[in-house]
Amino acid sequence: MEIPAQRPKLSDGGDSGSEDRLSDLPEDLLLRILDNIRDVPVAARTSVLSSRWRRLWRLLPVLNFPFPTDPQHIRLALQSHEAPVLWILQADVLDGTPDSMASWLLIAAPRLFGRLSLTSRASQNGPEEDMADERGAFELPCFQNAASIRLELGPLGVSIPPLGVFARLNDLSLVCVQLHGPCMLGDLVSSPRCPVLRKLIIKAASGLGNLAIHSDSLIAISLKDVHLHPADALGPGHVTIESNSLLQMELMSVHSLQQLTITAPALKCIYVDSCFANYRARASRHNQPVANIYAPRLKSLYWHDAYDPSSTQFGNIENLETLGAYLFHVYGRDNYAPNNYLLRLLRRFQLILSLRFLLHYQLDITDQQFLMEDMARLPNIARMSLGICPQGHSFGASVFHLLRMSTGLKILWLALVGSTSHPEVELIEVIEAVKLQKL
């Protein structure tokens, strides 16, 4: 029997059988191999391969510490790091303390020229708010050269640095943060300290004081599930935005909002949802929330909230094209509040190129009044996006009522929300209504 020839080892190199061909590759190619590992602890273990690999990981411009990482390991890695520029620093830490987090962030701050992404998690079970009080807070250092910062801190609290300019920061995201300390976030994100900031996202945040932003660079602001807890002389719940560059703004569930003031001559789109509704339900006539919005170039207004023309002022918005309105209850009590808000808002306009809103049926409409008759007039509408939540009821008459008032309607989008008992019958009702309207 013929014995097959033995394959040569990959490291065999003719005259030198122990030659390490991988280590002979150019340094930039070896760094690219380490970078693709996307795990600093794993990349550091390559130091045992040979003397050539011993310091390579220290030259990586991108450092990724995946979950779960001990903050002390990040500090030690940064102390050994030798790259002249750090472009990306991504860390997903477990059970960080204020001291352990501050120690490595202070090392990273002056060297980071790209993106910081930090996620903090806790292994303990229990409400994060309680753990935040126990763990305390750390002060975020000034990242003078960072272009993007994203913090998701969970149980850890954070305080805003009172001094320093984030000279290159253009994207800031604060998610699940609990703010501590006297320094206001608005001071940080305004132009004097963030001169090129373009995008600001604040989501699931608490401890936020009255937010006052004065920016010549911001183009997009998003506030979602934000709890205002101010401690200044202005009183509770003030959000003030002054920006000549702002194009888009989104406010969803901004709790305790009492006064909204927006001065944004370039603003094209604003979305407001569930910021004033709870306040208006319990506020006295002398303590109503106030909204003053100056946006003469506004194209799209999505107002899914309470509306009172005596306290909500939009100024001159003659260029408005798209209006997204509050849901309309088809059956309910006479003068049902959400319907009044919608009708007041619709009466504000003569021409709307695109109207979006939702018709909502209750499960039990026994002894309930048909409220569609309250909607006696609509603006001149070219396109309508109509959502219907029928709850098993027939809705053809309601659709026809809307179409009969929309004499200039050219395009109709229809969406059924939730389950329907007889979808084929309801579809025929809509078709017949559309035929009568002769779209």
> For 116-166, what is each residue's pLDDT tens digit?
999 999 886 544 444 445 568 999 999 999 999 999 998 899 999 999 999
pLDDT of residue 134: 54
Tell me if 289 is assigned to some domain.
no
- Looking up tokens 């391969």 gives 49
Tell me if 164 is assigned to some domain.
no
0.75 surpassed by pTM: yes
pLDDT at 403 over 90: no
pLDDT at 111 over 90: yes
pLDDT per position as a tens digit, 245-286: 999 999 999 998 889 999 999 999 999 998 986 554 444 445
Tell me if 412 is assigned to some domain.
yes
Confidence of residue 190 (pLDDT cuts 50, 70, 90): very high
Tell me if 300 is assigned to some domain.
no
Rounded mean pLDDT, 74-96: 91
Higher pLDDT: 395 or 29? It is 395
Select the highest-mean-pLDDT range: 135-149, 225-239, 285-299: 135-149
Give the CA distances from residue 394 to residues 362, 398, 426, in Å, rounded to whole numbers and listed in that order.
12, 9, 7
- Measured CA to CA, the distance from residue 352 to residue 44 in angstroms comes to 61
Half-sphere exposure of 313 (CA within 13 A, CB side): 11
pLDDT at 76 over 80: yes
Enter the tokens of residue 9.
């080892």
Tell me if 347 is assigned to some domain.
yes
Q: Which residues of 141-170 are buried (b: 16+ CB within 10 A; e: fewer)?
A: ebbebbbbbbbbbbbbbbbbbeeeebebbb
Tell me if 102 is assigned to some domain.
no
Q: 220-228 and 248-255 as β-strands: parallel, antiparallel, unpaired?
A: parallel
Confidence of residue 236 (pLDDT cuts 50, 70, 90): low
Tell me if 34 is assigned to some domain.
no
Q: Which of 15-24, 64-73, 260-269, 394-403 has the lowest mean pLDDT?
A: 15-24
> Cβ atoms within 10 A of the Cβ of 367, count?
6
pLDDT per position as a tens digit, 143-153: 999 999 999 99
Confidence of residue 24 (pLDDT cuts 50, 70, 90): low
Confidence of residue 7 (pLDDT cuts 50, 70, 90): very low
pLDDT per position as a tens digit, 344-378: 788 878 888 899 888 888 888 888 888 888 888 88
Number of structural domains the chain divides into:
1
pLDDT of residue 431: 62
Rounded mean pLDDT, 299-314: 86
pLDDT at 302 over 50: yes
Domain extent, residue 437, equals 327-439
Q: Considering the chain, what is the average pLDDT of its residues?
A: 81
- Measured CA to CA, the distance from residue 320 to residue 267 in angstroms comes to 11
pLDDT of residue 60: 85
Give the CA distances from residue 98 to residues 95, 133, 269, in Å, rounded to whole numbers and listed in that order.
10, 12, 39
Select the highest-mean-pLDDT range: 2-6, 143-147, 432-436: 143-147
Confirm if 328 and 359 have CB atoms less than 8 A apart.
yes
> Cβ atoms within 10 A of the Cβ of 71, count?
22
Tell me if 369 is assigned to some domain.
yes
